[in-house]
């Protein structure tokens, strides 16, 4: 089955800096890679996703890159703001199979 | 509001007891997923249903069971509860088209406390 590793587990940055979170996956057949943001006490919400036929995707200050050969994908947040502080989860899925989440990265953006 | 409804929001019970958590997916979503999130932990996949049938299984204990009904709502049954079962249980739903899974929409979760 799929296994997703995520690092770092915690990340502290200053407001305006960039933040990068990295994930690796084990199943080469995985074809869908979403990123979820979970604020304290709230439900996870999708912030961006990428499919295996695309190498990069951007949405304003966030971007995701995918390297299928190395089986890793990354989340990039530029010009971080205090409201970006949350736990971020990467995930990977194969076809209809289960969506497996990484262990999460707690991002703290200090003013 | 994600459109996914979970009840109850909070539940406190004793060890050895049995509880049922309920989830109503977004209108039109055929897939329902259950996840367990212990304090400061990640999202552990429990089980997935698609249009009434079990589709994938994760690290779900034998004491736990689930089903999806013809109206597509789902229930997660937890029995012989232990202290370690205390967690936030999330239900999520998605539209699954062909071989591609779409975005998962999460409910607000059911917080279970076992005393």
Contact B106, B2 (CB under 8 A): yes
Inter-CA distances, B38 with A22, B1, B112, Å: 23, 23, 10
pLDDT digits (tens, 9 = 90+) for A6-59: 999 999 999 999 999 999 999 888 888 999 999 988 999 999 999 888 899 999
Q: Strand B5-7 relative to strand A105-110: parallel, antiparallel, unpaired?
A: unpaired
Contact residues, chain B, for A44 at CB < 8 Å: 43, 90, 104, 106
Measure the CA dihedral A2/A108/A83/B23, to 10°: 40
pLDDT in tens, chain B (115 residues): 889 999 999 999 999 999 999 999 999 899 999 999 998 778 999 999 999 999 888 889 999 999 999 999 999 999 999 999 999 999 999 876 655 567 889 999 999 999 9
Tell whether A103 is within 8 A of chain B (Cβ).
yes
Sign of CA dihedral A1, B60, B65, A41: negative
Inter-CA distances, A28 with A32, A74, B84, B90, B98, Å: 11, 16, 34, 28, 19
Which of A95, A96, A98 lies at the smallest CB-CB distance from B45?
A98
Q: What percentage of chain A reaches a pLDDT higher than 90?
A: 78
Tell whether A93 is within 8 A of chain B (Cβ).
yes
Distance CA(B72)–CA(B49), nearest Å, equals 9
A44-B98-B30 Cα angle (round to 5)? 50
Single out the residue of A92, A35, A33, A1 nearest to residue B57, CA to CA: A1
Which of B45, B96, B106 lies at the smallest CB-CB distance from A96?
B96
User: What pLDDT does residue B59 have?
Assistant: 82
Distance CA(A45)–CA(A39), nearest Å, equals 9
């Amino acid at each position: 089955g799929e296994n997703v590793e995520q690092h770092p587990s915690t990340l502290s940055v200053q407001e305006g800096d960039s933040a990068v979170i990295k994930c690796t996956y084990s199943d080469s057949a995985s074809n869908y890679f979403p990123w979820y943001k979970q604020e304290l006490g709230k439900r996870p919400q999708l912030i961006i996703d990428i499919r295996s036929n695309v190498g990069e995707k951007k949405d304003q200050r966030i971007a995701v890159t995918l390297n299928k050969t190395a089986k890793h994908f990354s989340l990039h947040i530029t010009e971080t703001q205090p409201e970006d502080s949350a736990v971020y989860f990467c995930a990977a899925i194969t076809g209809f199979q289960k969506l497996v989440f990484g262990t999460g990265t707690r991002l703290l953006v200090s003013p | 509001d994600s459109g996914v409804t979970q009840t109850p929001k909070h539940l406190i019970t004793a060890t050895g007891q049995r509880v049922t958590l309920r989830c109503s997916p977004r209108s039109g979503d055929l897939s329902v997923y259950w996840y367990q999130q212990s304090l400061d932990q990640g999202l552990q996949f429990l089980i997935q249903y698609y249009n009434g049938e079990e589709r994938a299984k994760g690290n779900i204990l034998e004491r736990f069971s689930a089903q999806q009904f013809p109206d597509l709502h789902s229930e997660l049954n937890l029995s012989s509860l232990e202290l370690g079962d205390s967690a936030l249980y999330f239900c999520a739903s998605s539209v699954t088209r062909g071989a591609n899974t779409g975005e998962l929409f999460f409910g607000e979760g059911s917080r279970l406390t076992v005393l």
